[in-house]
Structure 1
Amino acid sequence: MKSACVAAALLLGALSVGAAGKKELVSFSHNDWELVCDNTRTCRAAGYQADGGEHQQVSMLITRAAGPNTALDIQLQIGDDGGAKGPLRFKVGKAALSGLDAGTASFDEGQIRAVLPELLKSDDATVTANGGKKWTLSLAGLNAVLLKMDETQGRVGTPGALVRKGTKPEASVLPPVPAPVVNVVKPPKAKPGDAALPARIFPSLDIAAVKEQCNNSTDFSAKSLEIVRLSGSKVLLSMGCGMGAYNYSSLLWIANDKPPYAPVSLEANGDFDDKDASVTSAMKGRGIGDCWSSETWHFNGTTFVRTGASGDGMCRGFAGGAWSLPRYVSRLVDAAAPPLTSSKP
């Protein structure tokens, strides 16, 4: 039934392992549903229309933060809101919701209570619009994905479990994990003479390793190096490594601005944004961009540390991707900003 995009799946698998470090993050899929739980234990389950055929694009996102007694958030999205006339109607089993917004609709607490039991025991759900246009959401795989969500958050056997409820105290549910804090250091302006540094630093690079990583697909010369200043003594060098049909990669180094230059290659990959001292790498699973993977790193004054990773593994026709499914999150703090202080009453 399900045919995942192999390229996207490989990329996302690499992201989940790399972003987690020694602890592997949870990424799971079954039939037409997928689950991603990030490093704070917030879990997101996304389901789509059945794979193959002429099905119209439709998707549901179920989000739940970690911790006892946390509520669900459910959103519904159709891929062709231009063909929808007026509000939408969602029906699953014996439950029906009317007046939903075309495009993306959010369910309120009462609507979630009404549809959740029916979602768990039905094969599919339908969305209809005035004029007869219809979308069919597959529910194949939903129970398995929500059970995995319960397991990840320690809810199995508790009253708040979605699939396997029980009498274990709700207090036994795993708590949320705080997102790591990253102090971001924004770069200064370029110094006079920075433009001449690529030619000076280039001989210090391991060009043999560069050629191997890039499959000899790049013009390896000092002219192919770009430079930005990171601090009073450090610079960032970047070199395009390869360009495919719709993906691009680059190599990055941090080097001293005076001899010995001692360039150090980085795991970070992508274009540098001096507004927030970040580097982001984004890759499409397919040309239309219906499945993506991305990673982001920020400069902390010494090196670039991973601050975010996200992506969806199912290529189901939503141009640009239906949802962003974070796999790794962090809390960014401007290192130059004064610390928050509390005044005593």
Structure 2
Amino acid sequence: MILRSLRRGGAALALAVAIPVVPLAALAADPAAVSFSHKDWALQCDNTRACSAVGYQAESGDSEPVSMRLTRAAGPDTAVQIDLQVYSEKASPGALQFTAGRFRLSGLDGNSPQVPAAQVPRLLQELLRSEEAIVTAGKDRWVLSLAGTNAVLLKMDEVQGRLNTPGALVRKGTQPESAVPPAVPAPVVKSVKPVPARKADAPLAGPLLAAVGRAGLDGQCNGGPPDASDVKVHRLTDRKLLLEVPCGMGAYNFSSILFMANDRPPHQPRLLDDVDGEFDPATGEVRSAMKGRGIGDCWWMRTWRFDGKGFVLTGEQGDNMCRGFPGGAWQLPVYVTR
């Protein structure tokens, strides 16, 4: 049973909390992504200064997987949304009850995923001063650790420039909300669709791999050298090809390295640094997905798009806290584009 934000079907259920907030002061114009963790909570802010804070059950406890995510866009007057997710191998419950300190919400099902705005301030207060929150459904019980909540939400306030303002989540003050810096616009990426493949492209796998040579793969691939039959050739433009070489094999992860090359001799293959994964010729996108451990309860994903000359990073997301959710509980944005 998995309960996810604003999603029905099977075990889907969510607690979405809208928290109206206010403005703050200026930070760097082009911030890098920020990651931070403390105890059972972690923070991920992306390149637009939007932030996601997530907490889980205590790693040393015996609770089945439970997680809470607080998300907030940058800028003045932005709201906080809170999503709750639980997992169990048992049948899906009809309703959840959430308790944190003196705060209690009952009947949380797919028909009422949002907490009334009037109750939100009380909920936040209890999250910040309690040690744990309890989620129940009949006889089923999950324990959400709140250890690290204060530190992580304080860091969120700092990254978004909200410290000492009325809209801060932790360290409130009297500085004007108008000082909160606005969101940084997401970079615009030009995406170019590759031209259709030609019959003569696939047979170039051998010559292109030979042009790369053993030296070109040295330090890149584990195991023996790849065979030409395992290599994929994709056409990008009238004269440029992409060579996809399966190159990394681990216990539960697999990756390919990519070369751009001329379709005629001299092929001059060039390794694409920091770009790896599978290429989709229909979209011109390269996708990479790596899981943190075998059961797949934490993932890291990146995407790139062909822009006519090379490949540009278009997205990065993940969650490094591996806490028992099959497939991962959340994908937290690290880098976003338009």
* Number of the residue aligned with 1:158: 165
* Number of the residue aligned with 2:252: 246
CA contact (8 A) 2:226 2:247 kept: no
178 and 23 in structure 1: CA distance in 2 versus 1, 3 angstrom threshold: closer
- Counterparts of 2:81 and 2:180 in 1: how far apart (Å)? 18
Give the 5 Å matches for 1:49-128.
Answer: 49-80=57-88, 82-101=90-109, 105-128=113-136
Which amino acid letter does the alignment assign opposite residue 266 of structure 2?
A: P
- Counterparts of 2:197 and 2:169 in 1: how far apart (Å)? 55
TM-score, normalised to structure 2, is 0.86
5+ residue gaps, structure 2, are 1-29
* Number of the residue aligned with 1:320: 327
CA contact (8 A) 2:57 2:63 kept: yes
Return the match for 1:257 from 255, 263, 283. Answer: 263
264 and 182 in structure 1: CA distance in 2 versus 1, 3 angstrom threshold: same
> CA offset at residue 111 of structure 1?
4.1
Q: Which runs of 4+ in 1 moved over 6 A?
A: none
> CA offset at residue 264 of structure 1?
1.1
* Number of the residue aligned with 2:12: none
* Number of the residue aligned with 2:237: 231
Q: Does 1:171 align with 2:166?
A: no
* Number of the residue aligned with 2:293: 286
* Number of the residue aligned with 2:316: 309
* Number of the residue aligned with 1:219: 225
Counterpart secondary structure, 1:208 = helix
Give the 5 Å matches for 1:136-151.
Answer: 136-151=143-158
- RMSD (CA atoms): 1.9
> CA offset at residue 280 of structure 1?
1.0
- Counterparts of 1:236 and 1:228 in 2: how far apart (Å)? 5
- Counterparts of 1:206 and 1:213 in 2: how far apart (Å)? 12
171 and 255 in structure 1: CA distance in 2 versus 1, 3 angstrom threshold: same
CA contact (8 A) 1:39 1:327 kept: yes
> CA offset at residue 327 of structure 1?
0.5
5+ residue gaps, structure 1, are 1-21, 332-345
- Counterparts of 1:212 and 1:23 in 2: how far apart (Å)? 33
Counterpart secondary structure, 1:114 = helix
> CA offset at residue 206 of structure 1?
4.3
Number of matched residues?
A: 308
- Structure richer in helix, relative to its length: 1
> CA offset at residue 83 of structure 1?
4.1
> CA offset at residue 181 of structure 1?
0.7
Counterpart secondary structure, 1:148 = helix
Deviations 1:184-236 (A, max 9, x none): 11112112311222222223214224132213x13334333210111111111
Q: Does 1:188 align with 2:195?
A: yes
Counterpart secondary structure, 2:121 = helix
Counterpart secondary structure, 1:198 = helix
- Counterparts of 1:229 and 1:127 in 2: how far apart (Å)? 52
Return the match for 1:129 from 137, 145, 148. Answer: 137
- Counterparts of 1:81 and 1:147 in 2: how far apart (Å)? 35
- Counterparts of 2:44 and 2:74 in 1: how far apart (Å)? 13
> CA offset at residue 240 of structure 1?
0.7
- Counterparts of 2:180 and 2:150 in 1: how far apart (Å)? 19
CA contact (8 A) 2:56 2:65 kept: yes
- Counterparts of 1:205 and 1:106 in 2: how far apart (Å)? 56
Which amino acid letter does the alignment assign opposite residue 75 of structure 1?
A: D
Counterpart secondary structure, 1:310 = strand
Give the 5 Å matches for 1:18-37.
Answer: 24-37=32-45
Q: Does 1:203 align with 2:210?
A: yes
Counterpart secondary structure, 2:197 = coil
* Number of the residue aligned with 1:334: none
- Counterparts of 1:157 and 1:280 in 2: how far apart (Å)? 41
> CA offset at residue 301 of structure 1?
0.8
- Counterparts of 1:275 and 1:201 in 2: how far apart (Å)? 22
